[in-house]
Amino acid sequence: MRIALTGTPGVGKTSVAQELSKRLNLDHIEITKIASEWGAVLEKDEESLVVDEDILRENLENLDNIIIDSHFAEIFDVDLVFVLRCEPKILYERLKERGYSEKKVKENVMAEILDYCLVNALEYHEPEKVFEICENAVDEISKIVENPQKEKSLAYGSRTHFLTEENLRLADDYPRI
Q: How many CB atoms lie within 10 A of CB 27?
A: 11
Count, residues in the chain? 177
Structural domain range at position 48: 2-170
pLDDT per residue of the chain (177 residues) written in tens, 0 to 9? 999 999 999 999 999 999 999 999 999 999 989 999 999 999 987 777 899 999 999 999 999 999 999 999 889 999 999 999 999 999 999 999 999 999 999 999 999 999 999 999 999 999 999 999 999 999 999 999 999 999 999 998 888 889 888 888 888 755 444
In a domain, 132, yes or no: yes
> Based on the number of CB atoms within 10 Å of its own CB, is 10 exposed (0-12), middle (13-18) or buried (19 or more)?
buried
Looking at the structure of the chain, the number of domains it has is: 1
Distance of CA 81 to the CA centre of its chain: 9
| pTM assigned to the model | 0.91
Q: In this structure, is residue 75 part of a structural domain?
A: yes
Q: For the domain that residue 127 is a member of, what is the CATH number?
A: 3.40.50.300
Strand, coil or helix: what is 74? helix
Asked whether residue 177 is assigned to any structural domain, the reply reads no
In a domain, residue 32? The reply is: yes
SS3 at position 25: coil
